[in-house]
Amino acid sequence: MQQRRLLVLPIALLLSFLAYFTISAIQPLPAAQAHAFVIGSDPVDGSTIGKVPSQVSIFFNAPISAMSHAHIYSIQNGNLVEVTASYSAISPSNSRELITSLKTPATQPEGSYEVLWTAIANNDGNTSYGIIGFDVGYSGTGASGVATLGPSSSNNLNGIHKLDTTALLSIAWELLASAALTFWIGILVVEQLLLSAGRGSGIFPQVRKHSHIIEWLCLSILLCGECIAIILRMVRFAQATPGQSLGQLLHIIPDTTYGIIWFLRILLIITAMVFLRLTPHNKDVVPVSEPEPMTNFERLTTQELKINNHRRTRQLIETPLPEPATPRRHTAIWMALIGLIILTYVLTSSVISVLNPPISAIVFDWFYLAAQGVWLGGFAYLAYLLLPLLTGVELEYNTETLTSLLRRLTPLLMVGLGIQIVSELFISEASMHRWQDFINDPYGRTLLVQIVATLLAVGLSMYSLCVLRPRLTHQALLLPVVKADLPARRTRQSRLSSTGRQLKISTKLLTVCGAIMLLCLALQSFYTPPINFPNINYSNVQTSPKNNVITAQTQQMGDLTVTVQVMPGRVGYDHTVIVIINNNKGQPVTDAQVTLTTNMQLMDMGTTHASINGGNPVYITTFAKKDAFSMAGLWQIKVGIQRPKQSLLEETYNIVLTA
């Protein structure tokens, strides 16, 4: 029977791995991403279009909340002029599309436009932001070179991933909350499923004195961590969009899925605290009616104890003390609370928001968190609650109980370990699709450290359960055979104590590896996986090179149509400026005095003035190459027209020169 039970574990793990690889082969996993990042826009970021659009659409990789917004600016004379018509809105047909309208597009000038956007992910409540740029007709900034098309530069990743005070606080509280949840799950699973009955249950009241306090501490940390998490999300949004009032920031709770699930999670944590307060933790009501059959080992141990002094812990185990009453309905309620709280964390994770279908992601992520609590939390319970009570100077008298508890813990911990590995494989494959990202991307480096820590934790788990536990059992069986006054007994006692110390060290090292794994999880939720952009060839998008020569421009100045042309339009030459003026009847104007003022838009290259008197239908002047048009880029020509008995007309013309 024992061999059959041991065979169940490797068979179950093997079936889990086969199921995982079969699903992966049939349906490749999509990329999992956190936050809400831009993966496309219309107009395309970096493109040059023919006319000013009526609206700008921004596409994200995850659903966004109604608090997300964008502002559109036109670059005019080196200044940002907002041309946003109204507050941004989410498309009714696509929760990942943000639409922002421009006011009076027909009257907006040509040149460069910038879209400053800020988004809150609907599922995880995190803030992201960036900038999108496009040109209408020509580049209003005068930048030379070929534009980078597409959303690769639309997200301000350096600002989002900056480790400032808010980010460090967020990571620290994420780590504390994860550790508290893991330890709390381990305490409940071990106590409710293993220690409430059977051999060794006599130590339950003593362990419960400590674990009850730790449960309160874990739940308090979870409650404080959730409150601080929502506050830090509000702070991040306020930093990205200054000027927000407290009332506007509080809309993150009702206006996002994260906020609603966060509120439900708070209610569940408070319910767990109330239930913990109402549940008796040290009340003994059901006596042990019949002791378990004694083996030869137990009889020998009992005989040996008659010649030794009484030991407190040993007395506690041998005396038929009443068992703590843990009704099955209490266990069911605790397990339901654990499952629901884990589910709230899963529903607000980054994996769920982008995987389709999400059911498999929900199942794997739920099992991942549950197995993490069972495995790491169970070993933490063993290292810091059970082993200090059963080892040390009392190890000789408590070995039987310790080996019995370890034997019952082993299947549970092994199953948790196996589920953790399979689920982590799923989540890792969903997050990373390129091996080079494990080195080049901060998320990949963090995931690599987590994998190494997981392998170390697996090795320590196998060493503790498959090497030290059988050794401890074997040494305990041999100890009572030798009389107390013989040297061989002292030798075996020394070996038994050494094995107990090794078990304590290995379990504590495993909890350290677990803490590193939880830290990596907190860092991963901050850094987010590499963005998986759509496979679109943006070279097909109609655009113009940034250094396209624009040497002529026509504008309406009052009732006059004025054309300004610069020749030859290349740096290193003297430039001739030709001005042609026609009235509203199409007839040339010859009696005007024209003044020209030139300078570069991006930097002050020196202002040059020229004046042209009337008398001819064509107004011509020449600028020496040392005085004007001495650098490639966008130049501005301010044209002033003064006619007799008419008011002065002024307008600025933009001319692009190449090297």
What CATH number has the domain bearing residue 590?
A: 2.60.40.10
Contact 80, 117 (CB under 8 A): no
Helix (H, G, I), strand (E, B) or coil at 286: strand
Give the whole-angstrom CA distance, residue 204 versus residue 202.
5
Closest CA to 429 of 17, 22, 23, 24: 24
145 — pLDDT class (breaks 50, 70, 90): low
Contact 574, 615 (CB under 8 A): no
Question: Which CATH number is 136's domain given?
Answer: 2.60.40.1220
> Is the alpha carbon torsion for 377, 380, 384, 389 positive or negative?
positive
Q: Is the pLDDT of residue 40 over 60?
A: yes
Flag whether 202 is in a domain: yes
pLDDT of residue 443: 85
Within 466-590, residue ranges assigned H as helices are 469-478, 487-527
257 and 219 inside one domain: yes
If one counts every other C-beta atom within 10 angstroms of the C-beta of residue 276, the result is 16
Q: Is the pLDDT of residue 346 over 60?
A: yes
pLDDT tens figures, 554-605? 888 888 889 998 888 888 888 889 899 988 888 888 888 899 999 887 667 7
Tokens linked to 520: 């990596």
Q: How far is CA 380 from CA 202, 338, 482, 593, in A?
A: 21, 18, 34, 89
Contact 573, 624 (CB under 8 A): no
| Bond prior to 43 in cis (omega within 30° of 0) | yes
Flag whether 291 is in a domain: no
Tokens linked to 9: 């574990």
The count of domains in the chain is: 3
Least confident of 54-68, 118-132, 385-399, 574-588: 385-399
pLDDT of residue 241: 87
Tokens linked to 581: 């003026």
Of all helices (H) and strands (E), which one includes residue 552?
strand 552-557
Task: Please name the residues in contact with 250: beta carbons below 8 A apart, sequence gap of 6 or more.
Answer: 234
505 — pLDDT class (breaks 50, 70, 90): very high
450 and 390 inside one domain: yes
56 and 130 inside one domain: yes
Per the structure, the complete domain to which residue 184 belongs is given by 2-30+162-283+328-527
Give the whole-angstrom CA distance, residue 123 versus residue 525.
13
If one counts every other C-beta atom within 10 angstroms of the C-beta of residue 409, the result is 21
344 and 453 inside one domain: yes
Q: Is 89 left (phi over 0), alpha (psi -120 to 50) or beta?
A: beta
143 — pLDDT class (breaks 50, 70, 90): low
Pick the last residue of a domain from 103, 125, 160: 160
Give the whole-angstrom CA distance, residue 37 versus residue 118.
10
pLDDT average, residue stretch 379-401: 74
Closest CA to 95 of 129, 116, 130, 119: 119
Pick the last residue of a domain from 108, 131, 160: 160
The single-letter DSSP state of residue 585 is: T
Flag whether 540 is in a domain: no
pLDDT tens figures, 514-546? 999 999 989 988 887 777 777 777 665 555 444
Pick the last residue of a domain from 114, 135, 160: 160
Flag whether 433 is in a domain: yes
Vertex 71 angle, CA 66 and 77, to 5° = 180
pLDDT of residue 144: 53
20 and 51 inside one domain: no
Give the whole-angstrom CA distance, residue 114 versus residue 242.
18
174 and 121 inside one domain: no
Give the residue carrying structure tokens 């079936």.
Answer: 15
Closest CA to 284 of 335, 208, 215, 212: 208
336 and 465 inside one domain: yes
197 — pLDDT class (breaks 50, 70, 90): low
Flag whether 308 is in a domain: no
